[in-house]
């Protein structure tokens, strides 16, 4: 394991350079503002006149069209959604590239799966915060930062790693530590984590637990508190103290029950399916599905969103969050 901290980073490598951040969503907003506040020359590349354009302008950022930003940039940091990166790159970025430029990402999807092809005389790097853009910004303002990842896919200039690390430091990641990885490792583990655990796995587990209690006749509100609301408290403990610290903080009854029942829920069959999910990612099956979905204007995704919004746990949860002051009324 190779970790980099502020003392390991040569910030001089970006002196006199212009960084174009393409996109002003969660990550684009957080990363660009941090880099600008750290003294880097940052421009934000956006669709002219859009909502993000107005927000970035109002927050004091130097905003230009994607084409204009790319033409004057030494480093182009692409932070728009995965599914539109290739088209935007081909139309608005690639024609303006110059030898010695750096194309940078916070997720390796389009490089690893070869949707974006970069000339040999251009660096390909990654600096990826391990947290949402809002947290990247908040922790930076508090004087610290969140951990991050760094990777180099193509080193055309001989100092691509130093460039990426300097961006990471300016974003605030080097205070917590930047772990070296590869585009392949970051992409495949990120997709697996999202699908099997963080987004797909955990929501299905919560819904199954909620439905089990409700179908057994318990109040929906109690079921929500027990299977969804309290999950944050447990995850916070694991985040701060690890598994052992979490077990230490819950009751002995919870600890014993968790130990003796957990493998009946997440069992060998679950693990076999996890391996299948990972293989589908590794072999490109998932990325082909996602590409086809986008070609057809995301019909399955929109359908899943509609179904999820009507789930019993969503309806109950929305009411409870408002009642408890956790969610503001629209």
What pLDDT digit, counting tens, does each position of 16-34 carry?
A: 999 999 999 999 999 999 9
Name the catalytic one among 77, 107, 112, 229: 107
Task: Give whole-number Cα distances, 184 to 30, 147, 200, 280, in Å.
Answer: 25, 19, 21, 14
25 is in an annotated binding site: yes
Q: Is 190 annotated as a binding residue?
A: yes
Report the chain's C-alpha Rg in angstroms. Answer: 22
Is 226 annotated as contributing to ligand binding? yes
Same domain, 175 and 211: no
Q: Are residues 142 and 78 in the same domain?
A: yes
Mean pLDDT, range 230-237, rounded to an integer: 95
Nearest to 24 by CA among 11, 35, 13, 38: 35
CATH code of 150's domain: 3.40.50.720
Mean pLDDT value of segment 30-46: 98
In contact, 184 and 283? CB cutoff 8 Å: no
In this predicted structure, what is the pLDDT of residue 327? 73
Say if residue 158 is in the same domain as residue 21. Answer: yes
Q: Of 134, 153, 181, which residue constitutes the final position of a domain?
A: 181
Q: How far apart are CA 330 and CA 321, in angstroms?
A: 12
Residues 124 and 205 in one domain: no
Instruction: Tell whether 51 is in a known binding site.
Output: no
pLDDT digits (tens, 9 = 90+) for 258-278: 999 999 999 999 999 999 999
Q: Would you give the DSSP letter of residue 291?
A: H
Element (H, E) at 166: helix 160-171
Binding site annotation covers 264? no
Which pLDDT score is estimated for 301?
Answer: 97
Q: Would residue 159 count as lying in a domain?
A: yes
Number of domains in the chain: 2
**Residue 51: predicted pLDDT:** 87
Q: Which of 211, 246, 243, 250 is nearest to 227 (CA)?
A: 211
Section 296-322 average pLDDT: 95
**Any idea which residue has 């940039």 for tokens?**
73
Question: Given this model, what pLDDT does residue 328 score?
Answer: 60
Q: Is residue 147 part of a domain?
A: yes
329 is in an annotated binding site: no
pLDDT mean across residues, the chain: 96
Annotated binding residue at 24? yes
Let me know how long the chain is: 330
**Residue 101: enclosing H or E segment and its boundaries?**
none
The lowest-confidence range among 50-54, 55-59, 239-243 is 50-54
Domain boundary among 150, 181, 212: 181
pLDDT band at 49 (very low <50, low <70, confident <90, very high): confident
Q: Are 226 and 119 members of one domain?
A: no
Could you tell me if 137 and 163 lie in one domain?
Answer: yes
Task: Report H helices in 149-230.
Answer: 160-171, 183-192, 200-215, 220-224
Last residue of a domain, one of 155, 181, 207: 181
Residue entry with tokens 């587990």: 205
Residue 127 has pLDDT above 50, yes or no: yes
Query: If you average pLDDT over residues 191-206, what whole number do you get?
Result: 97
Q: Is residue 290 part of a domain?
A: no
* Residues 141 and 227 grouped into a single domain: no
pLDDT of residue 2: 93
Measured distance CA(151)–CA(307) in Å, rounded: 38
225 with 157, same domain: the answer is no
pLDDT of residue 10: 94
**Exposed, middle or buried: residue 239 (CB in 10 Å: 0-12, 13-18, 19+)?**
exposed
What are the C-alpha distances in Å from 272 to residues 206, 261, 266, 277, 286?
20, 19, 10, 9, 17
For range 144-166, the mean pLDDT:
97
Cα separation of the two ends of the chain: 46
User: What is the rounded average pLDDT of the residues 87-115?
Assistant: 97
Residues 13 and 139 in one domain: yes
> Cα-flanking dihedrals φ and ψ of residue 280, to 5°?
-65, -35
Q: Does pLDDT of 142 surpass 90?
A: yes
Q: pLDDT grade, residue 9 (50/70/90)?
A: very high
Is residue 44 domain-resident?
A: yes
Q: Which tokens go with 3?
A: 């970790």
Tell me if 186 is assigned to some domain.
no
- Our answer to whether residue 77 is catalytic in this structure is no
Token pair recorded at residue 87: 């088209």
Cβ 56 vs Cβ 83: under 8 Å:
no
Is 220 inside any structural domain?
yes
CB of 129 closer than 8 Å to CB of 148:
yes
Residue 168 lies in a domain: yes
User: What mean pLDDT comes out for the span 89-116?
Assistant: 97
> Encoding tokens for residue 80?
């728009």
15 belongs to a structural domain = yes
Domain limits at 220? 198-266+298-324
Residue 234, Cβ density class (10 Å: 0-12 exposed, 13-18 middle, ≥19 buried): middle
d(CA 139, CA 63): 24
254 shares a domain with 107: no
CB 154 within 8 A of CB 182: no
Are 177 and 202 part of one and the same domain?
A: no
Q: Is 123 helix (H, G, I), strand (E, B) or coil?
A: strand
- Using alpha carbons, select from 241, 290, 274 the residue that is nearest to residue 110: 290
Q: What is the Cα–Cα distance from 127 to 13, expressed in whole angstroms?
A: 15
Residue 330 pLDDT: 41
Give the pair of three-digit tokens for residue 130.
Answer: 């391990």
Verify that 303 and 221 share a domain, yes or no.
Answer: yes
Q: Confirm whether residue 58 is marked as ligand binding.
A: no
């Amino acid at each position: 394991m190779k970790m980099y901290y502020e003392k390991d980073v040569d910030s001089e490598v970006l002196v006199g350079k212009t960084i174009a951040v393409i996109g002003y969503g969660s990550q684009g907003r957080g990363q660009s503002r941090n880099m600008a506040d750290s003294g880097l020359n940052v421009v934000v590349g956006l669709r002219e006149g859009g909502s993000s354009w107005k927000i970035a302008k109002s927050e004091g950022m130097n905003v230009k069209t994607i084409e204009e930003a790319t033409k004057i940039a030494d480093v182009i940091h692409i932070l728009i959604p995965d599914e539109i990166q290739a088209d935007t790159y081909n139309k608005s970025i690639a024609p303006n590239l110059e030898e010695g430029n750096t194309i940078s990402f916070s997720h390796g999807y389009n490089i690893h799966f070869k949707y974006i092809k970069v000339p040999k005389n251009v660096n390909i790097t990654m600096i990826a915060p391990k947290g949402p853009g809002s947290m990247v910004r908040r922790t930076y303002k508090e004087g610290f930062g969140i951990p991050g990842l760094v990777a180099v896919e193509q080193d055309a200039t001989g100092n691509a790693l130093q460039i990426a690390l300097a961006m990471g430091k300016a974003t605030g990641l080097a205070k917590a530590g930047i772990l070296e990885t590869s585009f392949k490792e970051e992409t495949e583990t990120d997709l697996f984590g999202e699908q099997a655990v963080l987004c797909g796995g955990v929501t299905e587990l919560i819904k199954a637990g909620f439905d089990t209690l409700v179908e057994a006749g318990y109040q929906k509100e109690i079921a929500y508190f027990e299977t969804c609301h309290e999950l944050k408290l447990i995850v916070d403990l694991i985040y701060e103290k690890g598994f052992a610290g979490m077990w230490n903080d819950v009751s002995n009854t919870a600890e014993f029950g968790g130990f003796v029942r957990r493998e009946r829920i997440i069992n060998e069959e679950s693990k076999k399916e996890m391996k299948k999910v990972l293989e589908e990612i590794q072999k490109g099956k998932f990325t082909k599905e996602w590409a086809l979905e986008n070609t057809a204007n995301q019909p399955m995704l929109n359908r899943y969103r509609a179904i999820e919004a009507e789930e019993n746990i969503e309806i109950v949860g929305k009411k409870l969050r408002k009642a408890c002051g956790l969610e503001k009324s629209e």
